[in-house]
């Protein structure tokens, strides 16, 4: 298969940030009198900003969803300011794949943080399209953000390859009809049923080569 385009997730694929989101949200919940639950981390993976900020209110946190979203995003920006934790091989993978195919980002991160990460990595010009789940009706595992990315690229989703790390992300990409490649997140490993949706699995972004994509 020679795809028309490749669509990358951001958190957990290009930047090692899923645990940072978790730490920032946990601190906010503790500071504001809420109570973290065993299900909270997995539940919010892939949610859009409006979705996870509403979810935080169910944990007994003081504040409106809009206020909580601003606080968490500001906390993430503070974490990124001294250092953006890019994953090993991520920049090389983006560079190699963009030499052959148009690229997009389809992520749950808000637009401002997308820009911070891509600029820090020096690959902003490698992506023709970036889509945040804030811009669509539903976050992952719904396919909306992937369908929007394909639409903006002018590509048939079935002719796109999606790169994902989390259970909800894998399900979203598969629901969009894309060929899925998994880079499983070691902090929050996706379950077997989600991994089974992937055509190929690589341990790190460094495994995302032109040869792998062509071999799909």
pLDDT at 8: 98
What percent of the chain has pLDDT above 90? 94
Q: Which fold has domain 18-80?
A: DNA polymerase; domain 1 (1.10.150)
pLDDT at 46: 86
Q: Does domain 5-16+85-214 have CATH number 3.90.110.10?
A: no
Cα-based distances in Å from 77 to 1, 40, 118, 201, 208: 39, 22, 14, 30, 28
pLDDT tens across 7-16, in order? 999 999 999 9
The answer on pLDDT for 2 being more than 80 is: no
Domain segments of the chain as ranges: 5-16+85-214, 18-80
- Whether 99 is catalytic is no
pLDDT at 67: 96
pLDDT-derived band of residue 3, with 50, 70 and 90 as boundaries? confident
- Three-state DSSP class for 88? coil
pLDDT-derived band of residue 171, with 50, 70 and 90 as boundaries? very high
pTM: 0.91
The answer on pLDDT for 1 being more than 70 is: no
pLDDT (mean) for 128-154: 97
pLDDT tens across 53-111, in order? 999 999 999 999 999 999 999 999 999 989 999 999 999 999 999 999 999 999 999 99
The residue annotated as part of the active site, out of 2, 9, 31, 78, is 9
Q: What is the number of other CB atoms lying within 10 angstroms of the CB of residue 170?
A: 28
The candidate with the shortest Cα–Cα distance to 161, out of 104, 76, 87, 206, is 104
- Whether 62 is catalytic is no
The residue annotated as part of the active site, out of 2, 11, 16, 193, is 11
């Amino acid at each position: 298969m020679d795809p028309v385009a490749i669509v990358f997730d951001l958190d957990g694929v290009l930047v090692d940030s899923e645990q940072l989101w978790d730490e920032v949200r946990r601190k906010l919940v503790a500071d504001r009198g809420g109570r973290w639950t065993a299900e909270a981390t997995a539940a919010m993976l892939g949610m859009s900003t409006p979705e996870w900020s509403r979810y935080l209110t169910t944990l007994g946190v003081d504040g409106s969803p809009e206020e909580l979203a601003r606080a968490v995003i500001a906390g993430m920006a503070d974490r990124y300011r001294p250092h953006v934790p890019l994953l090993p091989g991520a920049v090389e993978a983006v560079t190699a794949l963009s030499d052959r195919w148009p690229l997009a980002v389809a992520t749950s991160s808000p637009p401002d943080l997308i820009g911070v990460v891509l600029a820090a990595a020096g690959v902003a010009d490698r992506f023709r399209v970036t889509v945040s789940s804030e811009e669509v009706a539903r976050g992952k595992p719904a396919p909306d953000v992937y369908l929007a990315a394909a639409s903006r690229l002018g590509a048939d989703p079935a002719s796109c390859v999606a790169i994902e790390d989390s259970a909800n992300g894998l399900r979203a990409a598969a629901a969009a009809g894309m060929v899925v490649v998994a880079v499983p997140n070691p902090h929050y490993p996706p379950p077997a049923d989600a991994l089974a949706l992937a055509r190929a699995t690589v341990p790190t972004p460094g495994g995302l080569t032109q040869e792998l994509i062509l071999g799909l």
